[in-house]
Amino acid sequence: MSRNVLVVSSAESGLQIERTLEACSNLEALGLNCLFATEDFDRLGISASSNSESKKFLDQALEIVLVLGGDGSILRAAELSRAQEAPLIGVNLGHIGFMSEAELNELEVVIAAIDKKAYKVGHRVALEVQVFEGSEVVFESWALNEVSVEKSARERMLEVVVEVDSRPVSSFGCDGVLISTPTGSTAYAFSVGGPVIWPDVQAMMLVPISAHALFARPLVVAPDSELAIEVLKRSPGAGVMWCDGRRAIDLGPGSRIEVRKSNKPVSMAILSDAPFSDRLVKKFALPVTGWRGPESAG
C-alpha cells in the first residue's frame, strides 16, 4: 500500500521552493509518495515534471500531511485533508507559526520522523457551525481556529445577542463576535483580548469584538455546550461569518449562527514532549528573566 504524503507549502522565495522540493525528493527516496494540491503546482514548478499528474492530490488515502508554511498554511491543509484521519505536521516558514511543530532548520528531523512514524498524534478540538435564515439552514461548515461574525461595513456596527445552551446571555452593538477553539486562542481571539487556553483543554470560547456593553467579557464554556449568535433584526448593519478566515457567508438581520464542538477533531503529529508553556514563551518571546523554578527536594 502506498505511503502517501500530502505536501502543502506556502513557499514563495526561491530558497523556500528549493527546500520544499528537496524535502519531497528525500521523502520519495525513502519510499514515500508526495502529493500536492492543484493550486500549488505552478507556484512550486511541479507542472513541468513528467509525472505531474501522478502527484495531484485527488482524495487518495493519506498517511500524513506535511505543511511548510505558517498557521494559515496549516488551516489550508486541514481543509484539504478534512475528510481523512491523517495527522498534520507543520514546518514553519511564516513569522510565528504557533501551530508548527518544527522550524525550517529542523526539516531533516521531521522527514526522518515521518519515515519511521516516530511521532505521537494529538487531537485538536474543531467546531461545527450552521447558519439559519428563519428555520432554514443556509450554510454549514467547520473551523479549527475560530468562527467569526463580523460587521460588513466599517461605519455601521452589528447588533447581536449571544446565547449559551439555549439561553440568552447578553445583547450589544459590536464590531463582531468570535467563537474560538483552544487552538485558536493564540490567533484572532488572542488579538482581541481573549485568554490563552492550553490545547489539551476541551472547551470553547466566545469573545466579543469592540462591544458597546457593560458585560461583554470573554466566556469559556464546556465542550458539550452550544453557542449561538443572532444578528438582531434592528441591526443597522449587515455582517459576514468566516470559518478560519477561509470560508464565508453574508449575514443579514435575523440571521442565526449556531456553533458546537465537532465530533471530528483535527489530528496533529507531535514530535516533542515539551510543555505548551515553553512553546508560548518561545513563540511570543515572553520575558521570563529571574525565574528560579521549584525548590529541589533536599
- Asked if 71 is an active-site residue, the reply is yes
Q: Cα–Cα distance between 159 and 261 in angstroms, integer?
A: 25
Mean pLDDT, range 72-94, rounded to an integer: 94
What is the pTM (predicted TM-score) of this model? 0.91
Question: How high is the pLDDT of residue 125?
Answer: 96
Asked if pLDDT for residue 77 goes beyond 70, the answer is yes
Which position among 40, 59, 71, 244 bears the catalytic label?
Answer: 71
For 184, phi then psi, to 5°, come to -75, -5
Question: What residue ranges define each of the domains in the chain, with the CATH number in brackets?
Answer: 4-124+265-284 (3.40.50.10330), 127-261 (2.60.200.30)
Task: Compute the residue count for the chain.
Answer: 298
Q: pLDDT at position 51, please?
A: 62
Q: Find the helix packing angle between 107-116 and 14-29, rounded to 10°.
A: 30
- Cα gap 89→106, rounded to integer Å: 12
| CA neighbor of 6 nearest in space, from 92, 77, 73 | 77
User: What is the bridge-based pairing of β-strands 239-243 and 247-251?
Assistant: antiparallel
pLDDT in tens, 216-238: 899 999 999 999 999 999 988 78
Confidence check: pLDDT of 56 > 60: yes
pLDDT at 120 over 70: yes
